[in-house]
């Protein structure tokens, strides 16, 4: 109590108390919306999250807990060391972060940190670009399942993946090249598969709980009128249309719900690219939950998530400009019109220039990710 009286109440305590006092009456005032939103979240987990992510989560854990990490680290070693400025053991995890879905890479990073194969500073830097949607989600669910176009799904996946690779290279510019790793000790393969399955099951359970919670939160915000009020307020800027602002807010909260709202509202495909690159606060909580002690600065993490979204939208718009005969018909088939962001070359160019200027304005690494 003495410590509390001298230092006062911390901001985190104030926010936690305010959140509790707001959530409790909301759950009591909107029980029907809470039940419906929770049911929708559970349905999304059973039909989208678990089928698409669980196998890749198990594979990401297996890549770290088995000799696969050592074997894959050899061919990927030079690329990992010279482009991303990371130890060779990170090769398998970086690969899984682009193929396994949002939390798969983060779980691999946390395992490398737990095994002391990387430093907290290196783990923090990996989190800046190892949070990506995999092809199972972008192509199968978003492209084929929601948008009805595998071609559009692949274009979205390639744009978001290219943005992540570019982000990884740019955030490594101020980092030193790590020394070539000595040959790692042989890893026992016995039990690695069972341990990986158990680890993936625990991780998917936490992710599913986060999705359900954010589904309830979004439902309450809609029911109480908070989201419509925010859309009206943001629409005064006239940067986006009201429908685009509504879809953007949904993407910022939870990416699966954002995909559904974006399709229902008929927004630009480039806005889907932004939402998939950003990932949503729900995914961010899932990623950070793997780290009891935060390995990097939280502000840098969120700023890079925003940069990833902007780069993804810019690259996707650039693709529509360079090969419109390939991409525009797919978008027109879904929304009945050409993508609004692809109307001029200035849209894609401005997004790319803004993202590049933002990333190059980062301070030195020790200021961004903390002291080594």
Angle CA 165–116–73, to nearest 5: 45
Return per-residue pLDDT of the chain as tens, 372 residues. Answer: 444 444 455 776 787 788 788 888 888 888 888 899 889 888 888 887 788 778 877 877 787 777 766 676 678 888 899 999 999 888 888 988 898 888 888 888 998 999 888 999 999 999 999 999 988 889 888 888 888 888 888 999 999 999 999 999 999 998 999 887 655 554 555 677 888 888 788 878 887 888 888 888 888 888 888 888 999 999 888 888 899 999 999 999 989 889 888 988 888 888 999 999 999 999 998 898 888 887 878 889 999 999 999 999 999 988 888 776 655 554 554 454 334 333 343 444 444 444 444 444 444 444 444 433
How far apart, in whole angstroms, are the C-alpha atoms of residue 35 and residue 45?
15
**pTM strictly above 0.75:** yes
Say if CB 271 and CB 341 are below 8 A apart. Answer: yes
Residue 284 makes CB contacts below 8 A (sequence gap 6+) with 131, 301, 302, 305
């Amino acid at each position: 109590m003495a410590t509390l009286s001298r230092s006062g109440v911390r901001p985190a305590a104030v926010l936690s108390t305010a959140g509790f006092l707001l959530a409790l009456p909301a759950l009591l005032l909107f029980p029907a919306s809470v039940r419906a939103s929770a049911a929708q979240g559970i349905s999304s987990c059973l039909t989208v999250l678990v089928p698409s992510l669980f196998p890749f989560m198990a594979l990401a854990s297996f890549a770290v807990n088995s000799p696969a990490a050592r074997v894959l680290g050899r061919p990927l070693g030079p690329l990992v060391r010279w482009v991303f400025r990371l130890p060779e053991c990170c090769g398998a995890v970086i690969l899984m972060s682009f193929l396994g879905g949002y939390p798969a890479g983060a779980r691999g990073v946390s395992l490398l940190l737990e095994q002391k194969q990387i430093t907290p500073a290196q783990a923090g830097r990996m989190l800046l670009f190892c949070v990506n949607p995999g092809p199972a989600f972008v192509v199968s669910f978003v492209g084929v399942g929601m948008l009805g176009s595998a071609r559009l799904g692949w274009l979205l996946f390639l744009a978001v993946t290219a943005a992540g690779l570019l982000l990884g290279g740019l955030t490594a510019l101020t980092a030193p090249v790590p020394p070539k790793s000595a040959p790692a000790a042989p890893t026992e393969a016995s039990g690695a598969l069972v341990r990986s399955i158990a680890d993936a099951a625990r991780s998917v359970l936490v992710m599913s709980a986060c999705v359900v919670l954010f589904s309830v939160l979004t439902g309450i915000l809609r029911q109480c009128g908070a989201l419509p009020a925010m859309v009206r307020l943001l629409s005064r800027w006239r940067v986006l249309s009201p429908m685009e602002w509504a879809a953007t807010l949904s993407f910022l909260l939870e990416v699966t719900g954002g995909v559904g709202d974006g399709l229902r509202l008929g927004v630009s495909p480039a806005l889907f690219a932004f939402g998939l690159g950003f990932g949503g606060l729900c995914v961010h909580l899932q990623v950070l939950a793997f780290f009891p002690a935060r390995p990097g600065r939280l502000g840098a993490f969120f700023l890079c998530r925003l940069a990833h979204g902007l780069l993804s939208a810019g690259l996707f718009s650039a693709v529509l400009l360079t090969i419109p005969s390939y991409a525009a018909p797919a978008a027109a088939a879904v929304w009945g019109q050409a993508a609004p962001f692809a109307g001029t070359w200035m849209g894609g160019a401005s997004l790319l220039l803004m993202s590049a200027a933002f990333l190059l304005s980062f301070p030195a690494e020790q200021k961004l990710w903390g002291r080594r």
